[in-house]
Amino acid sequence: MNTFMLSFSAMLLYVATAIARLYGNKIPVNTENPPLFQLKTLLMGLGGIAVVLHAIVLYQSIITTDGLNLGIFNAASLVTWVIALLLLLTLFREPVENLIFILFPVAALSIGLDNYFQSVRLLTADMGVKFHIFSAIVAYSFLSISALQAVFIAIQDYQLRHKHLGWVMHVLPPLKVMETLLFQMIALGVLWLTLGLISGFLFIEDLFAQHLVHKTVLSLIAWGFFMILLWGHWQYGWRGRKAIYWTLSGFALLMLAYFGSKIVLELILQRY
């Protein structure tokens, strides 16, 4: 199967998984298995195939004879693949299926953009730098899920304060569960971001020559935001609006550090 068919199939399955989640409550009840179990099985089946096909597409586009191609659209597609994979793995033990109908269409869109816009940024690197890249992508993926969690928590908090129980309150887990998941995701994201920053300082020789200073500074500030949030939650029980503010602020800095710099360098300045 060629790259186009693999990409199209992965996109179709991502969208199908999102639709299945959206209309999942209408699945007929089976006397042997509860509806939630049937829905989770369906989501993991469709989503699992989509993730596998997406991985094959990424392998074909990123792994080249000249090195790793991490152009902006390849990188975006790789990040959304990691997010989709982490979401499915988390689904084994946590009620995160409601994030699927937001994140999976984004993964499908990233595949489409990667196929339409052929971005090239070749990187020849040793194992240390590859570990740095891997750590950064995993960190960004965990913290992306955290940011979406924070958005949903903000909606839940608003609806509870105004006593207006909309669709979000009906389809999402209780607010306490959502906040627990939020801090778990942030803790994992900060762990990987810490590894990424340490490995970057150890294995990347010249930050100035490689246009990485601004990215490093913004990532360090974002790391500080998340560390303050975790410390505040542990020490003072921060939650609710404070958790939302610090999470979204840290994520905005992290997104600007990575994709903001890539947009400027690759799409505006045409530096590869």
Pairwise CA distance, residues 151 & 41, whole Å: 26
Q: For the chain, what is the mean pLDDT?
A: 83
- Print the SS3 string covering 203-225: HCCCCCCCCCHHHHHHHHHHHHH
Q: Please state which of the ranges 19-33, 97-111, 115-129 shows the lowest mean pLDDT.
A: 19-33
Question: Any long-range contacts for 231-237 (C-beta under 8 Å, 24+ apart)?
Answer: 233/183
Over residues 31-57, the mean pLDDT reads: 82
Share of the chain above pLDDT 70, in %: 82
Where does the pLDDT of residue 169 fall: very low under 50, low under 70, confident under 90, or very high at 90 and above?
A: low
- Going across the sheet that includes 122-123, the strands are 63-64, 67-69, 122-123
Taking a C-beta distance cutoff of 8 angstroms, is the pair 150, 247 a contact? Answer: yes
* Residue with the two structure tokens 């975790």: 230
Q: Please state which of the ranges 91-95, 109-113, 245-249 shows the lowest mean pLDDT.
A: 91-95
Model pLDDT for residues 190-244, shown as the tens digit of each residue: 999 999 999 988 887 765 555 667 788 889 999 999 999 999 999 999 988 899 9
Where does the pLDDT of residue 81 fall: very low under 50, low under 70, confident under 90, or very high at 90 and above?
A: very high
Where does the pLDDT of residue 171 fall: very low under 50, low under 70, confident under 90, or very high at 90 and above?
A: low
In single-letter form, the type of residue at position 50 comes to A
3-state secondary structure of 237: coil
CA 197 to chain centre: 18
Model pLDDT for residues 16-34, shown as the tens digit of each residue: 999 988 776 555 444 455 5
What's this model's pTM, rounded to 2 decimal places? 0.83
Over residues 178-192, the mean pLDDT reads: 93
Q: Where are the domains of the chain?
A: 1-124, 126-272
Structure tokens at 43: 């989501």
Q: How far is CA 146 from CA 40, 59, 183, in A?
A: 21, 27, 8
Over residues 243-260, the mean pLDDT reads: 90
Give me the pLDDT at residue 29, please. 44
Q: How far is CA 181 from CA 119, 147, 174, 191, in A?
A: 35, 11, 11, 15
Q: What is the DSSP letter of 239?
A: -
